[in-house]
Amino acid sequence: MLQIIPVMLCFFAMGFVDLVGTASNYVQKDLGLLDSQANIFPSLVFFWFLIFSVPTGMLMNRIGRKKTVLVSLGITLVSLFVPLFGDDYYTMLIAFSLLGIGNAVMQTSLNPLVSNLISSDKLASTLTLGQFVKAIASFLAPILMAWGATTLFPVFGLGWRVLFLIYALVCLLSVAALAATPIHEARPDKASSIKECLKLLSSPFVLLCFLAIVCHVGIDVGTNTTAPKIIMERLGLPLEEAGFATSVYFIFRTIGCFLGAFILRKISSKLFFIFSVALIAVGLALLLFADSLAMLYVAIAFVGFGNSNIFPITFSQALIDQPDYRNEVSGLMIMGLFGGTLFPLAMGYAADGIGAQWAAVAVMLVGAAYLAVYSLNIRKEK
């Protein structure tokens, strides 16, 4: 199905938001910030999911899902151009804010757009394939930033910020491809106001799914922000080398998404979810005390692989539970990405307060405990 190709290219653009973890470490290094100050950047990015996700569900009812995705790509494109003109504190705040707004709109509209192309029984595996494509952009980001920071042939003097130029060009390609692709959309969902949308949280199962996504994203952003700091703290490596830990995370998340697209066609979502949460728990436990590079990479790999399929399984569960309100449910679920604000802030203050990064890992373990409870409530696909 050729229509799925430009949609998957949009999933790649969706992955641009994950650059914020490593980018915040470079900004921290350049400006000499504390952990709690540097963690404001990823927290700011995901703050906008709280504000824009539900209104985006309403916007989709007015202009359609495809047009809403195109709006999100336009905002993302602007956010990628801003850092090309400077790297001071306020410039980066503006860039990360726009990146968060664009990604909030994109994640809210792109996932239900896929439901126009794919049947319900294949939705979880297709969303997992999209997460695989998204993860490719995620794990490339630290590599490209490290290359920009160390290359002997700097591009326009941008240093690590060359990543923004590269991803801006890809974003332009995504806009062109999706705009040229005809997609038949289902009629607008029934709910027509933010109040009615938020009322869906009164459904116990929808609320469980929402909190699961809060914890998933908290662990995701927390790991790719904190993993390099753990390596620098325990092994004394510079950021350019320690930053590869974020790539390790996304490499195994990418592998997990790729394999998950096939595994979820063979075994139940519930069984695979339980297995995934177990891997996350083992990985985080290792991060508490591991003091060799090999063991730290193993721990990060476990968390990356385990966290790779939490989102698509949870998201598809919520969509299937409320088939008449898919735009609104999508807005609620993407609002759960606000966990990317809550967890880094809590982790930053915990690490500063204790004076060690294991305190930040302990915060993520709370999220893993909730996912374990949620796994018991996952339902069989209809």
pLDDT in tens, 192-240: 567 777 788 888 999 999 999 999 999 998 998 899 999 999 998 887 7
Under the banding of pLDDT at 50, 70 and 90, the label for residue 31 is: confident
Indicate the SS3 state at residue 233. Answer: helix
Mean pLDDT confidence for 367-371: 95
Q: What's the pLDDT score for residue 302?
A: 97
Mean pLDDT confidence for 336-345: 84
The tens digit of pLDDT for each residue in 239-289 reads 778 878 888 898 898 888 888 878 888 888 889 999 999 999 999 999 998
The tens digit of pLDDT for each residue in 104-155 reads 899 888 878 887 777 666 666 777 788 788 878 887 888 888 888 887 667 7
Kindly report the average pLDDT of the chain as a whole number.
85
> Do 298 and 342 meet the contact criterion of CB atoms below 8 Å apart?
no
Question: In this structure, which amino acid lies at residue 122?
Answer: K
Q: The pTM is what? A: 0.75
User: How far apart, in whole angstroms, are the C-alpha atoms of residue 336 and residue 318?
Assistant: 12
Give the Cβ contact number of residue 257 at 10 Å. Answer: 26
Mean pLDDT confidence for 342-348: 87
Mean pLDDT highest for which of 5-14, 83-92, 294-303? 294-303
Burial of 36 (0-12, 13-18, 19+ CB in 10 A): middle
